[in-house]
Amino acid sequence: MAILRPVFYLALLALIIAAPFIFPDFRTQLATLWVFIILSMTWDMTGGQMGYNSLGNILFFGAGMYIAAVVTIALAYDVGEYTNAFGGGTYKFTTTQYFLGMGLGLVFAGLLSAAIAWLMGYLLFQFRGPYFAIGTLGAAIAAGELVSNWEWVGGGQGIALPVYPGDFDVGKLFFYYLFAATGVILFIFLRWLYGTRFAGAINAIRDDEEKAEAMGLHTLRYKQVTWAISAFFVGIVGGISGFQNIHFEPLETAFQTINLGIFMVVCVLLGGKGTLWGPIIGAILFHVIKEVTWNYLLGWQWVALGALIVITVVYFQDGLMGWLARVKPEWFGERVQKKPDLIAEPAE
Amino acid sequence: MDQIISNIGLLFEFPVVNLKILIDGIMIGALFALAAYGLALVWGVMNVKNLAQGDFVIAGGYVAWSLTNIGIHPFLGIPAAFIVMWGIGWITYKLVIKRVIERDLFTSLLATFGLAIMFAQIMNLMFGSDTQSIDLGYDTLHFGPGGFVDVPISKLIGVIVALSLAFGVIIFMKRSRMGQAIRATAQDARAARVLGIDTDKVYAFTFSLNSAICGAAGAIIVMAWVIQPFYGITYSIRAFVIVTAAGLGNLPGVIAAGLGIGAMEQYGAHIFGIGYQQAIAVLLLLIVLFFRLLQQRRKRQVLQ
């Protein structure tokens, strides 16, 4: 087993790198898959590991998108004028401006999203259970509505970013690897994090917050830090998505509360809450189901997705990993005693 | 910013504008109160937070709208929507809600969110995404200086029907056997079961009643305002605002909060511009939540 593990991870890494060449027609879908995986993993940090079910993590996605775009534009032009012209012909970006803007923009997107999460967490983490979910949902919807009225960042029309300065297909690969790198870093980070005392603390908050506090944990600080870390990654992914989409607008793309904002929750539930691999598997499953319904049930795809949400939540909430943990506990490191044959099961 | 200040100035310069806004707000608020009343019922009795509330409202509106299209008088659409949505609520209960009652609240929240998406999309496929309304062809009353305050008779009728429906439900809950059973179940479901109340039946009845009330509200809304398949979520959010502000089991409070939120929303739309109306509805939710939080803080408790 000890030798198998690095081999498995290396094979996985090779698959990640080779995937866009194995499936050259699906490069955009593969990039979107990474968005789902990263958002699910970050949602699971608060939802699964800490027991705080947020419905508003999409806020950081939208915030990251806007921050990255505004930083990129501000480096070269006046933002108000640029959004007014709506990507009109006079605004050209050189290659250096594009990549410098993107790099700086993504850093700012991550850091500012984390800061927003920290500040909002101070207020929102006073709520428990469903009130937290409703409060975060409200915050995300409100953010979208406010941004769509903010003329300086383009109002309801959104922002049109410059196109990738190079070959179109290379651009697709570039965004795929950008997403994949973020995802791999996030996975390595979480794998390390879930083994530390910090994870123990947030798990304690999930299991019994009053007791955790009585044990001397500064629970609010732990909750804020966890949400800020998850918002950091969500903000970066949002920023990359902004560049990938080229043009985005506030309600349908950036703060898409009832699409992506709920999908990430469903992904996690589908795969299994509170596990490292659950969100990843769930995201892959969900994405495949979504693409299939999109292709074959045109018009009814949303109904099918709504039904999928209801069925997952009502009948299958433990998810795939939860189900496996019940059926095969020994796979998860739990020692299972084989029942001695002498003692027969009492007949029912 | 100048726009906002001049809008506020307008309120002081012409006090009659206040009257117009208040009347508009109270009229739409009566409908919000109706939807919120159903939510308070379901929340209090079954501990289910129904995010598909607004979609029931819109569905009821479409029932009345399609009946009008085949030549039935719009007023008959209100009882028809009541009955049809009763049936849909009952089916929803049997298929989904029944299985989430005993679970944690997040489960019911997410499951009903999934339902909301389904409902909105099915209505979108059936009726198209245009806004719809029924034109009753009634006059508009004018009063105040220069006839500035206008009250369409259709809205007036809608509000009266909504209020009488609300009072009907309150009397039903107080007087009838079923109402007693519902209240008993809300107080202590286990004790009610011990005393021979079929709580499953009570739950099914409560949820169907809720969706029927919402349906009737929708049938009123389609006569005086407009509906669209995706308007549901805003009604859900307003219902949440109202119930969170008024608390469970406080019916006069729900009605008062409904009227108040209607008025506040209209004021906000007047001051900040119509584009902010949705944002104001949602921000009110956050404000109410934080206000409740401060109240709980004094007692060293958290909102849960």
For A314, which of B96, B282, B290 is closest by C-beta distance?
B96
| Residues A303, B121: C-beta atoms closer than 8 Å | yes
Report how far apart the first and last C-alpha atoms of chain A are (Å, whole number): 40
Q: Is the pLDDT of residue B16 over 80?
A: no
Sign of CA dihedral A110, A116, A117, A122: positive
Scored b (16 or more CB within 10 A) or e, A201-225 reads bbbbbbeebeebeeeebebeebbbb
Least confident of A199-213, A224-238, A327-341, B109-123: A327-341
Residue A34 parent element (H or E): helix A27-47
Task: Categorize the per-residue pLDDT at B303 as very low, low, confident or very high, splitting at 50, 70 and 90.
Answer: low
Look at the block and give the residue holding tokens 């804020």. A224
| Residues B110, A265: C-beta atoms closer than 8 Å | yes
Look at the block and give the residue holding tokens 């819109």. B58
**Within its chain, how far is the Cα of B178 from the centroid?**
23
Least confident of A62-76, A208-222, B227-241: B227-241
Q: CA A51 to CA A58: how far, in whole Å?
A: 18
Taking residues A183-198, report their average pLDDT.
92
User: In the prediction, which pLDDT does A235 show?
Assistant: 94
Q: CA A72 to CA A248: how far, in whole Å?
A: 14
Closest residue of chain B to A263, computed from CA coordinates: B114
Residue A159 parent element (H or E): strand A159-160
**Which residues from B are below 8 Å from A150, CB to CB?**
none
Specify the 3-state DSSP secondary structure of A277: coil
Asked if B291 is an interface residue toward chain A (Cβ–Cβ < 8 A), one would say: no
Residues of chain A with a CB closer than 8 angstroms to some CB in chain B: 53, 55, 123, 126-131, 133-135, 138-139, 141-142, 145-146, 148-149, 156, 258, 262, 265-266, 269, 299-300, 302-303, 305-310, 313-315, 317
Q: Is the pLDDT of residue B14 over 80?
A: no
| Residues B240, A126: C-beta atoms closer than 8 Å | no
Angle at B191 (CA atoms; ends B186, B197), nearest 5 degrees:
75
Angle at A84 (CA atoms; ends A243, A151), nearest 5 degrees:
90
| Residues A129, B278: C-beta atoms closer than 8 Å | no
| Residues A130, B49: C-beta atoms closer than 8 Å | yes
Sorted by where each begins, the domain ranges of chain A are 29-257, 258-333
Taking residues B211-231, report their average pLDDT.
87
Domain B2-298, architecture per CATH: Orthogonal Bundle (1.10)
ipTM surpasses cut 0.90: no
Adjacent-strand bridge partners of B227: B132
| Residues A313, B304: C-beta atoms closer than 8 Å | no
State what percent of residues in chain A have pLDDT above 90.
Answer: 24
Give pTM, 2 decimals. Answer: 0.85
Residue B135 parent element (H or E): none
Averaged pLDDT score across all residues of chain A? 84
B interface mutation test: which of A54, A289, A309 has the most B CBs within 10 A?
Answer: A309
Q: How far is A309 from chain B (nearest CA, A)?
A: 5
Torsion angle of alpha carbons B70, B72, B76, B80, nearest 10°? Answer: -30
User: In the prediction, which pLDDT does B34 show?
Assistant: 85
Give the side-chain half-sphere CA count within 13 A for B104.
12
**Within its chain, how far is the Cα of B74 from the centroid?**
20
Task: Categorize the per-residue pLDDT at A348 as very low, low, confident or very high, splitting at 50, 70 and 90.
Answer: very low
**Which residues from A are below 8 Å from B96, CB to CB?**
310, 314
Angle at B30 (CA atoms; ends B275, B268), nearest 5 degrees:
25
In tens, the pLDDT along B124-167 reads: 888 877 877 777 777 777 776 666 777 778 888 888 888 888 88
Q: Is the pLDDT of residue B284 over 70?
A: yes
Taking residues A323-338, report their average pLDDT.
71
- Map B71-102 to HEC letters: CCCHHHHHHHHHHHHHHHHHHHHHHHHHHHCC
| Residues A303, B99: C-beta atoms closer than 8 Å | no
Taking residues B192-202, report their average pLDDT.
87
Q: CA B277 to CA B283: how far, in whole Å?
A: 10
Neighbours of A252 (CB within 10 A): 12
